[in-house]
Amino acid sequence: MDRLKHHGIKGQKWGVRRFQNKDGSLTREGQKHYSNESIKKLINKKDKTYNLEKWGSSPSNNLLIIAGVSGSGKSTTAKNIKAAKNAIRIELDLYYENPAKDYNHDKSRAFNKYLKEKVPNYAKIQKNFEKYDEVRFPEFDKDSSNKEHIKLRKEYWRTMDEVRDALFSFSKEQYGKNKVIAEGVQWLDSTMYPDINKRRSILQNNPSIIKQTSVVKSTLNGILRDDISFLDIPTIAGRFKFNKNWNKNIKDLTFDV
């Protein structure tokens, strides 16, 4: 065997992507191609999935959750499924990681308005996020035993529990006839939601995808995406450690639904 043959498809041209752009997102032809296909064709085979067949079958199952470490491909997967299935995408990072941002992403602006009505305390956290950001994780708080810090930490996570519950009700009340995608690691990250039974309950009762990208690949993707210098060793090491811990903890959620 001294020859390698590659048979393309009709109309194929070198360097021209038919269904996907270079960043992995679908082209218009790709959206059309996958519109009548199972969404399993839009995700990696090794990714964990739960209740996908239920998605969109009723208002109580119209929310699809996509979780995974930073750089694992959550956003690309969510964008592709959104495009192929004409779904509504809500980016959770806007609410957990940087609430001070302007909400122009898909229907996030509508959810932001809904939150102000259903979770009044969120507006306070949104306005003073930097203060909460310094203390919300005890392991990164230099003065984690400070009573004021403990109070702020509890207030933040109690409010974020309400944000999560609000998203469930929002997707049903506002978009019950549409498919909705909630994309972000926060739903299933044990550092954010240590109650494993609560996290398992989310998987048992909701269509979900857990991105299983390797630690090295997801870390590299995150570094390239966020334009982090390869000389910034502490940042790279911290991200790698976080991704490694998340992959380890997510094994607790691997069970037969």
- Lowest pLDDT segment from 100-104, 105-109, 174-178: 100-104
pLDDT of 60 over the 90 cut? no
* Mean local confidence (pLDDT), 165-184: 88
* Mean local confidence (pLDDT), 166-192: 83
Query: Which tens digits make up the pLDDT trace of 63-80?
Result: 999 988 888 889 889 988
Whole-number Cα distances in Å, 35 to 38, 83, 87, 230: 8, 8, 11, 39
Residues 173 and 185 in one domain: no
Residues 250 and 187 in one domain: yes
Q: Is-contact 71 218, C-beta < 8 A? A: yes
Q: What percent of the chain has pLDDT over 70?
A: 81
Q: Is-contact 248 227, C-beta < 8 A? A: no
Query: Which tens digits make up the pLDDT trace of 217-234?
Result: 888 888 888 888 878 888
Does 210 map to a domain?
Answer: yes
Residues 83 and 200 in one domain: yes
Q: Token digits for 92?
A: 């959770």
Residues 82 and 154 in one domain: no
Does 94 map to a domain?
Answer: no
Residues in CB range of 237: below 8 A, 6 or more apart: none
Which pLDDT band holds residue 253 (cuts at 50, 70, 90)? low
Q: Token digits for 229?
A: 């210098």
**Whole-number pLDDT of residue 145:** 92
Q: How many domains does the chain have?
A: 2
Q: Token digits for 14?
A: 């070198």
* Mean local confidence (pLDDT), 109-116: 83
Query: Which tens digits make up the pLDDT trace of 146-171?
Result: 999 999 999 998 998 898 889 889 98
Residues 32 and 153 in one domain: no
Does 92 map to a domain?
Answer: no
**Whole-number pLDDT of residue 237:** 86
